[in-house]
Amino acid sequence: MSAHETARGDVQLGIPPMPAPDYPPEVRTRLETDAAEVISRYPDSRSALLPLLHLVQSEEGHVTRTGMQFCADVLGLTTAEVTAVATFYSMYRRRPSGDYQVGVCTNTLCAVMGGDAIFGALREHLGVGNGETTADGKVTLEHIECNAACDFAPVLMVNWEFFDNQTIESAKRLVDDLRAGNEVIPTRGAPLCDFKQTARVLAGFPDQRPGSVEAGGSAGPASLVGLKLAKGERGPETVVSPRHPEVPHEEPVTTHASRHDAPQPSSASDPHHPAGPVTEGDES
């Protein structure tokens, strides 16, 4: 447990706090109606817990003790059971956060394509660390894991809409615009709404804004490269041809181009396990 995490309030030590305050009656009534609809989608009410945590997050912007108490009440669970689940999943925030959650993918593909650099630049630009919010309450910066958009690397997610193929400059512009209240358009996804509204969609209530489903078009450019090639639309010329005379490629495997390339087991280093073709016999 780092001091940083403790400072984030992820773990509470000491005497347990008093019972959580209840929602105001009208809020509770409204949420109970929503909760009933969510619960009706499942044969077993407990399955509604994840959507209900999204729902209470859409009420207050993060999962509060009041929200967890509410989930426990409507599902007949203990608050301990609800807390155990709420603390397991990374999308539930446990303290007040910004209107816009800016997640920078720093997993493998994005990292090598510039995601690490973008994250570092934004941290400096915004003056906040991972999981922290700017003083104006607008932007919460977070590093995130692979968001299944590696062919659009490096990727930023703002309130879980895709901002593909970012650069340090475009990312800085993006957060500046968010803080200034200017409209920003995701590369794939709907015009941004605030985090609470996003959480409501996640609870399973379809986005009612006109055009929100259509926004962003059918597919991003990277999703279409194979289809375009198949239709005879040529992209840039092929760079690599292993037999092309200008391209050196027959170096022995035991030499590696950079220090970062740790030697890998190969047929040369590991003659007992030649890296031959995986044959049909290997499958099953």
Tokens of 31: 């949420």
Exactly one of 126, 139, 153, 178 binds another protein (CB under 8 A); that residue is 153
Spatial separation of the C-alpha atoms in residues 116 and 148, rounded to whole Å: 17
Spatial separation of the C-alpha atoms in residues 220 and 217, rounded to whole Å: 8
Tokens of 218: 């059918």
3-class DSSP state of 169: helix
Selection from ligand FES, another protein, none that 100 binds (CB < 5 to 8 A by kind) is none
Instruction: Determine, following the binding rule CB under 6 A, whether residue 147 of this chain makes contact with ligand FES.
Output: yes
Q: Which residues share a beta bridge with 156?
A: 104, 163
Q: Which residues share a beta bridge with 100?
A: 139
| Span of 8-16, 129-137, 166-174, 195-203 interacting with another protein by CB under 8 A | 195-203
Exactly one of 63, 75, 102, 110 binds ligand FES (CB under 6 A); that residue is 110
Helix 79-86 vs helix 65-75: crossing angle, to nearest 10: 120
Instruction: Determine, following the binding rule CB under 8 A, whether residue 232 of this chain makes contact with another protein.
Output: yes
Exactly one of 90, 167, 170, 182 binds another protein (CB under 8 A); that residue is 90
Helix 65-75 vs helix 25-39: crossing angle, to nearest 10: 50
Instruction: Determine, following the binding rule CB under 8 A, whether residue 226 of this chain makes contact with another protein.
Output: yes
Question: What is the nearest approach in angstroms of ligand FES to the Cβ of residue 191?
Answer: 22
Size of the residue set binding ligand FES (CB under 6 A): 11
Instruction: Determine, following the binding rule CB under 6 A, whether residue 105 of this chain makes contact with ligand FES.
Output: yes
DSSP 8-state assignment for residue 129:
-
Question: What is the nearest approach in angstroms of ligand FES to the Cβ of residue 159?
Answer: 16
Instruction: Determine, following the binding rule CB under 6 A, whether residue 102 of this chain makes contact with ligand FES.
Output: no
Instruction: Determine, following the binding rule CB under 6 A, whether residue 20 of this chain makes contact with ligand FES.
Output: no
| Span of 13-21, 123-131, 132-140, 242-250 interacting with another protein by CB under 8 A | 242-250
| Span of 67-75, 93-101, 102-110, 243-251 interacting with ligand FES by CB under 6 A | 102-110
Instruction: Determine, following the binding rule CB under 6 A, whether residue 107 of this chain makes contact with ligand FES.
Output: yes
Burial 228-262 (b: 16+ CB within 10 A, else e): eeeeeeeeeeeeeeeeeeeeeeeeeeeeeeeeeee
Residues 149-168 that bind ligand FES (CB under 6 A): 149-150, 153, 155
| Span of 45-53, 88-96, 104-112, 230-238 interacting with ligand FES by CB under 6 A | 104-112
Provide DSSP, 172-214: HHHHHHHHHT-----SBSPSP--HHHHHHHHTT----STTTTT
Cβ neighbour number for residue 189 with a 10 Å cutoff: 18
Instruction: Determine, following the binding rule CB under 6 A, whether residue 146 of this chain makes contact with ligand FES.
Output: yes
Strands (E), the chain: 100-105, 139-144, 156-158, 161-163
Instruction: Determine, following the binding rule CB under 8 A, whether residue 185 of this chain makes contact with another protein.
Output: no
Question: What is the nearest approach in angstroms of another protein to the Cβ of residue 11?
Answer: 16
| Span of 28-36, 120-128, 174-182, 184-192 interacting with another protein by CB under 8 A | 184-192
Binding site for ligand FES (CB under 6 A): 105, 107-110, 146-147, 149-150, 153, 155
